[in-house]
């Protein structure tokens, strides 16, 4: 490798480390309670917690931005802000755990309901409160289905809690075509990380993306896997398991 190549590689490594440090520092300043009404964002937008009436708009944007076909399933609700996340925003991890325990006690929860227990969406809105971008984050329910297959309800519940506290998946993030490139997507991702940090619901945040999107997540401090390479969930939940998406990279951030 020539001197110029070594310098470029060194600058890229320093840039990646700096982005990770910035991401970690931003997590120390949770945006709650401003997220309820909206915090100022790029291009004259506000980022706020999603409301039930935003579901159609969220689904419209996320269909463009995720390989998860569940987003297109009208029988599956897109999570706006579930009670446990709301409690976590108000009272931290203790509030989140209390809210999740109440839901687990009150309902028969299946693994593919995990997004109802610990999922949320944020939206970017303009001055007229029209949704122009969205992000949805939830536990990886397909992975939960795999690791709980054949288990009874009492065995599933501890794994649900364990996964909700350890793994958070960015289901998708998308912005209206004419507003892309203005920093709105980055605003949504950073605000979502603040929500997770406030609720104490992650050791690993991850998602999958096509090659053309890797630089976006790299600039936000995420590590990017090689194409088709998996990540191991052991650090997050104490169980070895590999998560990958064919034809995609995995972007991940560890705490």
Residue for token pair 């795999």:
146
Helical spans, DSSP H, in the chain = 3-26, 55-62, 83-106, 114-118, 141-148, 153-166, 184-199, 214-219, 234-237
* pLDDT for 220 beyond 80: yes
For 214, the token pair is 């890797």
**Containing H/E element for 177?**
none
* Mean per-residue pLDDT over the chain, rounded: 81
Instruction: Give the model confidence (pLDDT) of 56-77 as tens digits.
Output: 999 888 877 765 655 556 666 7
Written out in words, the top-level CATH class of the domain with range 3-254 is: alpha beta
For 8-44, what is each residue's pLDDT tens digit? 444 444 444 444 444 443 434 445 668 888 999 999 9
Query: Parallel, antiparallel, or unpaired for β 204-209 and 223-224?
Result: unpaired
């Amino acid at each position: 490798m020539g001197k110029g190549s070594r310098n470029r590689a060194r600058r890229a490594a320093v840039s990646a480390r700096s982005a990770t440090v910035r991401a970690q520092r931003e997590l120390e300043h949770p945006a709650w309670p401003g997220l309820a009404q909206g915090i100022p964002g790029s291009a004259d937008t506000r980022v706020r917690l999603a409301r039930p009436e935003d579901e159609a708009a969220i689904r419209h944007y996320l269909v463009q931005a995720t390989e998860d076909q569940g987003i297109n399933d009208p029988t599956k609700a897109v999570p706006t802000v579930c009670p446990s996340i709301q409690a976590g925003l108000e009272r931290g991890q203790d509030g989140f755990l209390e809210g999740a325990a109440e839901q687990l006690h009150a309902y028969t929860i299946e693994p593919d309901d995990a997004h109802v227990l610990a999922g949320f969406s944020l939206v970017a809105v303009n001055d007229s409160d029209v949704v122009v971008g969205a992000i949805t984050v939830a536990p990886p329910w397909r992975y939960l289905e795999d690791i709980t297959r054949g288990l009874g309800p009492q065995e599933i519940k501890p794994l649900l809690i364990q996964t909700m506290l350890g793994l958070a998946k960015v289901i998708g993030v998308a912005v209206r075509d004419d507003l892309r490139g203005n920093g709105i997507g980055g605003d949504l991702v950073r605000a979502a990380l603040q929500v997770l940090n406030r609720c104490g619901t992650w050791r690993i945040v991850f998602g999958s993306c096509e090659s053309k999107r890797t630089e976006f997540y790299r600039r936000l401090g995420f590590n990017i896997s090689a194409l088709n390479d998996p990540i191991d969930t052991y650090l997050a939940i104490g169980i070895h398991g590999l998560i990958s998406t064919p034809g995609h990279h995995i972007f991940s951030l560890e705490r």
